[in-house]
Amino acid sequence: MTVRRAVVPTLVGACCACTAWAANLRSVEVSKEGGRYHLVADTHLAAPPDAVRQVLLDFDNDRYQRISEIYKESGYLRPDSDGTPIVYTRVEGCLLFFCRSLRRVERLEVATQNLIRTEALPDRSDFKYWCRNGTSTPKAAARGSGTGWSSSRASGCRRSSGRGS
């Protein structure tokens, strides 16, 4: 099994393994375009938007494990030369007997209060291409309020500039 084929199940597993809050995964779509995979997930989290945002931006001291048990390490690295935060995550996942550890170093952009974007630095990651756009919106749930989280991940983003220190 190639690394590319192992990445897609790992990504889907990451979406399904949310342990930080009561989560309802409403949909997951995986497609392949031009040799690159795209994953779109829609999740409802039983937490207010500010709490969701706080956890999604908390890479310090391996606390990303609160999102999913597949995250084994996370942290902030030295910011890029333009001041953009650089973050690091390492995930581990298994599909039957095939296990893989993947390292990702990304530029982190908080575009708006409800939009978080990341893009991998391929020279420092196990991913040649990777970007993620995540948006949160307050949503009513059957038993109270919560946050809708729509995440679009692609292993086929534009090639990173390679910036980062």
**What residue segments make up the domains of the chain, in order of their start?**
3-154
CATH class, 3-154 region: alpha beta
Q: What confidence category does residue 140 fall into, taking pLDDT thresholds of 50, 70 and 90?
A: low
**Cβ neighbour number for residue 23 with a 10 Å cutoff:** 21
Top pLDDT among 99 and 11 is at: 99
| pLDDT, greater one: 136 or 73 | 73
Q: Is the whole model's pTM more than 0.85, yes or no?
A: no
Cα distance between residue 115 and residue 151, in whole Å? 10
Q: What is the pLDDT of residue 9?
A: 47
Q: Going by C-beta distance under 8 Å and a sequence separation of 6 or more, which residues neighbour residue 62?
A: 71, 72, 73, 74, 75
User: CA–CA separation, 105 vs 65, rounded Å?
Assistant: 16
The burial class, CB within 10 Å (0-12 / 13-18 / 19+), for 129 is middle
Region at 162 (left for phi over 0; alpha for psi -120 to 50; beta for the rest) = left
- Average pLDDT value for the chain: 76
The size of the chain, in residues, is 165
Comparing 57 with 12, which gets the higher pLDDT? 57
The confidence score (pLDDT) of residue 37 equals 80
Q: What is the pLDDT of residues 4-44, one digit of tens each?
A: 444 444 444 444 444 444 678 788 888 888 877 888 888 88
Q: Residue 25 corresponds to which amino acid? A: L
